Structure 1
Amino acid sequence: MKLWGGRFEKATDGLVDDFHSSISFDKRLFEQDITGSIAHATMLGEEGIIPAADAEKIVAGLKDILEDARAGKIEWMVDAEDIHMNVETLLTQRIGDAGKRLHTGRSRNDQVALDTRMYAKVACRDTEAMLEELIDALLTIAQENLHTIMPGYTHMQKAQPITLAHHMMAYVQMFLRDRNRFSNAYKAADVMVLGSGALAGTTYPLNRERVAELLGFEKISENSLDGVADRDYMLDYLSAAAICMMHLSRFCEELILWNTNEFRFVEMDDAFATGSSIMPQKKNPDVAELIRGKTGRVYGHLMGLLTVMKGLPLAYNKDMQEDKEAFFDTRDTLVKGLTVFTAMLKTVTFRKDVMERGASGGFTNATDCADYLVKKGVAFRDAHKVVGELVAHCLNENKALLDLTLEELKQFHPAFEQDVFDDLSMISCVEKRKIPGAPAPEMVQRAINAAKAALKNDQ
């Protein structure tokens, strides 16, 4: 007989048991479920809602179950439906009738909301820590490459020279924003909802603040309907995860391109690459490709839960059981992605000589050439036209701007002087960009210091 079966005259069909049961995946919540129940029972005993002796037996029994569950000694029961009913059934089997008092003043609706909030808080903090490790790895690469010149791109066309440090710091900014999003997701989950009941609270004089204190929640929920119907905190995590995976995917796409024979900017470590079953020469960046592919999986979970929630009237509906598999798989995918990406990045060899040669081609100093003329008193639009004509001339002659003689340059404009050659060197093009956020080494160093300070101050 089900714990809720008093109103029913027939047993649940086996097909329904199998379809209805969530224990196959929500058993992951055993830690949160049992810990939450211990806090609830403690409060019930302290408030005299149940006998103190029964509360003590319940807490002791729950601690035993928790120990056995951690040791993998419990076989969860499908016919008990979910982790909540499994724990309560086991508790009653072990301690007798006192176990039947555990559910006093509580519904599975607010219980599952509590469990998933506790789980979400842990997930957010774990993800923040992994992002900090990745950011630290990026800062190390940046610090070592303040003067490593490489081409910057727009439209996948060479645009202007930058440094590898500046490029890495762009991703630092992305992942810092990701960390802030998970921090905000943590705050959204940090609301204790137990006491909401099924939807309308309870007549028992629950001390909700005490339960929040025992479980380490910042505050309690303000509305019982919202307490059981809200899954925004899960969507916050899924949204943050989707954006973070997007950033990982963009980075992976660049590493994949840079690893090609056409670019040769990086060499992937053998430990993070695979070969071909037919082509013996191949060394494939499969790790980066798989992270890129799994990004769509996380997007799908976000859209799936948004779709589940979009048509649900208040308060709880069984549709909401679909939240957990999406959440769990998103966390697993992101954790694996961040872990392997960080490890892979630490082993990448950056081919600085190839990067610098790449910056020298493609007229990446053309903008600086126009700026040079502007400093000599030429209007920018006129300077732009002159340099465009210079580039066209160089293409016809198969030359770079710095291959031209001063006499050739003066044929296009008399403002050119001997100092133009120093002004158009790759190093000069980078070092002149000294405003905050630009790639001059001193500006990048300032950005590195700021990022390190941000990590340290928030820990």
Structure 2
Amino acid sequence: MEGVYRGRVSKPMREEALDFVSSLDEDQRILTDDLLGTLAHVIALQEAGIIGEEGKKIVEALVWLFGRALAGELKVEGKFEDVHEFIETQVIQRVGMEVGGKMHTGRSRNDQVALAVRMRVREELHRVSDLVLLLARSLLKRAEETAEVPIPLYTHTRQAQIGTLGHYFLSKVDELLENFERLSDCYKRVNLCPLGACAIGGTSFPLLRERVAELLGFEGLVENSIQAVSNRDFMLEIASNLSILMLGLSRLAEDLILWSGEEFGFISISEEFASTSSVMPQKVNPCTLELIRAKAAEVLGLTTALFSTFKGLITGYNRDLQETKSELWRCFELAEDSLRVMRGIVSTLEVNRERCVSAVEGSFAVALDLAEALVRERSIPFRTAHILVGRVVRRAFESGKRLGEISPALLEEEAKQLGLTLEVSEEFVRKYTNPLLSLQARKSKGSPNPLEVKRMLAERYRSVERAEELLSERRAHVLRCFSSLLSRAGIEPLRREEPTPPSSP
């Protein structure tokens, strides 16, 4: 049996045209979502008295299809334009047109696909958010381990101040928590039910829209029927958020690539996440990190494609929207894969403390610490101290000395050139040019002072725990609603460890 939608036309669609418009391949991903959405729709039609006892036969057919889909035995295939036509045809084949033909009452493919996409996006948001928090926990563990491992911090790709590796890892945790918050906020706009809008202008049937939303675990409705079928701003928002997430992963990847190279040697990437050369025996290449950078670029490109597609549409449903599904699915796939791999890299990398210490011992990045000490302990205006230490740095650099190797006499001499009378001891110079002591002198909130890093670590652990609780509550709510829906349809409720029915392979 072919599609059931072509009553208006007398000719079948040409094969090349059908192949061109069909979305069956990408619709496999929303098969279980569409089946659950249709199940809720039919149950609500029964409860509203729009269809009678024959609705039970439709429900039985949908339950049978749902079971096959969960088992991976239902392939979306055939001469159909999309999964919606496929499902309706399957039901009609099973129970006949007289009964199955009532399934689509009060519904259009327009609000049907909007529903299925929101349901799938909701679960994908759960998955990517979970992976964000798992990576955050891995980074927290490394931050805790390296809270006192000194490294140079960089501005303009030049050594700027002394920091710690733990402080750096903690900054990446903060990035991930911001990403979680963005995705979590977007979830509230995704988790609204569009079903009941029909094609665009509603229907004459008294649909129980709130009941469908309740059965499917939505927090409310996309009330306006035009907005329900035509709006896809949430897809743009998600793609943008995933782009920001991937940019952060790309920056982290770039840092780890540089720091694992021979010139830095701060860290070593585990061989489990490295590649080798086909010709150079010595090479161990950070290819996984390089590919994260490349996949970030792909997500940016897909996001641009989404914006470009939506830019040219009038208000209402347009078939162009079909193409946006695969682009968004790909964004999710790339982000999820990158998060998994990055978590493995972070969890298994080795830190070379000696190389890190060596890098800061010869660094001029303690110059600001020396200038601030002159301000605090000698009451010199900061700008004057800035000029003075700048002159001293130039003299030390020209003579091939480290800043910690300058004599008090050199500092006093340069001060005299600026019209200052300054007396400093050997102890003063050594104390405030010691990179490890400079960290302990940092007083500002959020600085790399190891004590401040430990305080932030405790707070970030609590932040991750709160985020995990929120995510768990959301997944449990959807699970309870699905279990109630399936129980209403005569299926044993879902187990707790399956937050939402997985899509068929």
Corresponding position: 1:431 with 2:433: no
Aligned partner of residue 101 in structure 1, secondary structure: coil
Aligned residue for 1:279? 280
Aligned residue for 2:358? 357
* Preserved contact between residue 3 and residue 85 of structure 2 (Cα < 8 Å): no
Paired residue type of 1:309: F
Percent identity for Structure 1 against Structure 2:
36
* Distance in 1, Cα, partners of 2:77 & 2:265: 55
* Preserved contact between residue 372 and residue 420 of structure 1 (Cα < 8 Å): no
What does the per-residue CA deviation read over 1:199-232, in whole Å, with 9 as the maximum and x for residues that have no partner? Answer: 0011100000000000000001121011000111
TM-score (normalizing by structure 1): 0.98
Paired residue type of 2:39: I
CA drift at 1:77: 2.4
TM-score (normalizing by structure 2): 0.89
* Preserved contact between residue 213 and residue 220 of structure 2 (Cα < 8 Å): yes
Aligned partner of residue 387 in structure 1, secondary structure: helix
CA drift at 1:233: 1.3
What does the per-residue CA deviation read over 1:75-94, in whole Å, with 9 as the maximum and x for residues that have no partner? Answer: 32241111111111111112
Paired residue type of 2:244: I
- The more displaced of 433-442 and 133-142 is 433-442
Corresponding position: 1:378 with 2:376: no
Aligned residue for 2:51? 50
Aligned residue for 1:194? 195
Aligned partner of residue 398 in structure 2, secondary structure: helix
Paired residue type of 1:168: F
CA drift at 1:415: 3.4
Aligned partner of residue 159 in structure 2, secondary structure: strand
* Distance in 2, Cα, partners of 1:456 & 1:32: 29
What does the per-residue CA deviation read over 1:319-365, in whole Å, with 9 as the maximum and x for residues that have no partner? Answer: 11111110111111111000111011100011111111111223011
CA drift at 1:100: 1.3
Gap runs ≥5 in structure 1: none
CA drift at 1:70: 2.1
Aligned residue for 1:137? 138
* Distance in 2, Cα, partners of 1:449 & 1:54: 59
Aligned residue for 1:75? 75
CA drift at 1:434: 2.1
Aligned residue for 1:227? 228
**What is the correspondence of 1:119-158 to structure 2 with a 5 Å cutoff?**
119-158=120-159
CA drift at 1:420: 2.8
CA drift at 1:17: 0.6
* Distance in 2, Cα, partners of 1:407 & 1:305: 65
* Distance in 1, Cα, partners of 2:403 & 2:122: 56
Aligned partner of residue 184 in structure 1, secondary structure: helix
Between Structure 1 and Structure 2, how many residues are aligned?
458
CA drift at 1:253: 0.2
* Distance in 2, Cα, partners of 1:396 & 1:377: 28
- The more displaced of 93-102 and 304-313 is 93-102
2:404 counterpart (393, 402, 417): 402
Aligned residue for 1:456? 465
- The more displaced of 201-210 and 58-67 is 58-67
1:415 counterpart (386, 410, 423): 423
Aligned partner of residue 159 in structure 1, secondary structure: strand
* Distance in 2, Cα, partners of 1:169 & 1:159: 18
Aligned residue for 1:93? 93
Paired residue type of 2:413: Q
CA drift at 1:141: 0.8
* Preserved contact between residue 34 and residue 87 of structure 1 (Cα < 8 Å): yes
* Preserved contact between residue 253 and residue 288 of structure 1 (Cα < 8 Å): yes
Aligned residue for 1:115? 116
**What is the correspondence of 1:172-191 to structure 2 with a 5 Å cutoff?**
172-191=173-192
**What is the correspondence of 1:231-242 to structure 2 with a 5 Å cutoff?**
231-242=232-243
* Distance in 1, Cα, partners of 2:16 & 2:255: 49
After the TM superposition, list the runs of 4 or more consecutive aligned residues in structure 1 that deviate by more than 3 angstroms.
none
* Preserved contact between residue 28 and residue 75 of structure 2 (Cα < 8 Å): no
CA drift at 1:409: 2.9
Aligned residue for 1:61? 61
Aligned residue for 2:33? 32
What does the per-residue CA deviation read over 1:401-454, in whole Å, with 9 as the maximum and x for residues that have no partner? Answer: 111223333322323223231122112211111221111112111211111111
- The more displaced of 41-50 and 379-388 is 379-388
What does the per-residue CA deviation read over 1:125-171, in whole Å, with 9 as the maximum and x for residues that have no partner? Answer: 11111111011011111111111111111111111101111111111
Aligned residue for 2:257? 256
* Distance in 2, Cα, partners of 1:362 & 1:319: 57
* Distance in 2, Cα, partners of 1:141 & 1:76: 45
Aligned residue for 1:204? 205
* Distance in 2, Cα, partners of 1:325 & 1:450: 39
Paired residue type of 1:60: E
* Preserved contact between residue 374 and residue 385 of structure 2 (Cα < 8 Å): yes
Paired residue type of 1:238: A
* Preserved contact between residue 27 and residue 82 of structure 1 (Cα < 8 Å): no
* Preserved contact between residue 144 and residue 454 of structure 2 (Cα < 8 Å): yes
Paired residue type of 2:135: L
CA drift at 1:378: 1.4
Paired residue type of 1:111: Q
CA drift at 1:110: 0.2
* Distance in 1, Cα, partners of 2:126 & 2:16: 39
**What is the correspondence of 1:320-339 to structure 2 with a 5 Å cutoff?**
320-339=321-340
Q: Which has the higher contact order (CA 8 A, sep 6+)?
A: 2
